[in-house]
Amino acid sequence: MRPRAGAAGGRDPFPPRGDGQRLPPALPPAGAGRVSDSVAVVTGAGRGIGRAVALRLAADGHAVVAASRTAGDLETLAAVAKDAITPLTADVADGDTARRLLATATARGALTIWVNNAAVVEPRPFAELDPQSWDAVLDTNLRGVYLGCHAAFRAMSERGGGVIVNIASLSGVANVEKFPGLTAYNVSKAGVIALTEAVALEGRATGVRCVCLSPGAVDTEMLRRAAPHLRPTVTPEDVAELVAFLVSPAAAPLSGVNIPIFSNA
């Protein structure tokens, strides 16, 4: 059964088109339907889960700062969302990116949401996993999340609260079946889950929640490259719905949790 967290009245907020693809909800005009001056940062927003999350949060009334390494993807996203989304071409592995994202977000309003979604995968047998490949994956998938968490945590703590959502993976969950060739990816995602718990623990005193989602197979371009044999039933929009719930007041008691998302792939 597909999750429908946050769907009003049981209606599907991402209705399918004639070709079976799903569209985001209609975005409000600039300034209309804003959730006060709430601003959300979403990394890895050019495609897949990040794109769906950025569109969903914008549709829910948040101003969104969307980051991606690919300028063309951001241009397409910004064209869909118009003034609701501010694009920023950036690499989360760069030590200056989190600062730039924070500055862009606070210029638009109050930072209340930060979604660390950017990730890379480089399938490689362990015997062929050289230090450079290891570092490339860990720099984006774990160090990039740490830098985002750190920037968001400090800013949110100063203003009295906020929500950090980290996107990990079932590949990082203990005692779940793993695929060969993904050692660096698996380790990076396990680190994200552990980081979430640590940040949530220290956020209790300042009102900062930190939660984690660990999707299994999701129908994204990255998965199709890494595992073309899989046919996942979970879509990026499904994950976006869960993110929308986790950042809502209804999820206020949740912090430090990791929520696995299983697919029938």
Domain boundaries, the chain: 34-261
Amino acid at residue number 222:
M
pLDDT reported for residue 82:
80
Which pLDDT score, from 0 to 100, does residue 9 have? Answer: 36
Residue 142, SS3?
A: helix
Euclidean distance between CA atoms 111 and 199, whole angstroms = 17
- For residue 243, which of 135, 138, 160, 168 has the smallest C-alpha distance? 168
Q: Which amino acid is at 79?
A: A
3-state helix, strand, coil in the chain (%, to 5): 45, 15, 40
The burial of 84, by beta-carbon neighbours within 10 Å (0-12 exposed, 13-18 middle, 19 or more buried), is given as: buried
The Cα–Cα gap between 126 and 122 comes to 11
- Residue 11 confidence (pLDDT): 37
The superfamily (CATH) of domain 34-261 is NAD(P)-binding Rossmann-like Domain (3.40.50.720)
* Catalytic residue positions, numbered: 185
Q: For residue 18, report the phi and psi dihedrals to the nearest 5 degrees.
A: -65, -30
Output the six-digit token pair for 164. 């950090």
Q: pLDDT tens string for the chain (265 positions)?
A: 333 333 333 333 334 434 344 444 444 444 445 567 999 999 999 999 999 999 999 999 999 999 999 999 999 999 998 889 999 999 999 999 999 999 999 999 999 999 999 999 999 999 999 999 999 999 999 999 999 999 999 999 999 999 999 999 999 999 898 889 999 999 999 999 999 999 999 999 999 999 999 998 887 766 666 666 666 678 999 999 999 999 999 999 999 999 999 877 5
State the Cα torsion 44-49-50-56 to the nearest 10°.
180
pLDDT for 234 equals 87
Instruction: Give the list of residues 6+ apart from residue 199 with CB closer than 8 angstroms, or none.
Output: 149, 153, 164, 208, 210
Q: What is the DSSP letter of 118?
A: -
In the prediction, which pLDDT does 15 show? 42
Residue 6 is predicted with a pLDDT of 36
Burial class (CB in 10 A: 0-12, 13-18, 19+), 31: exposed
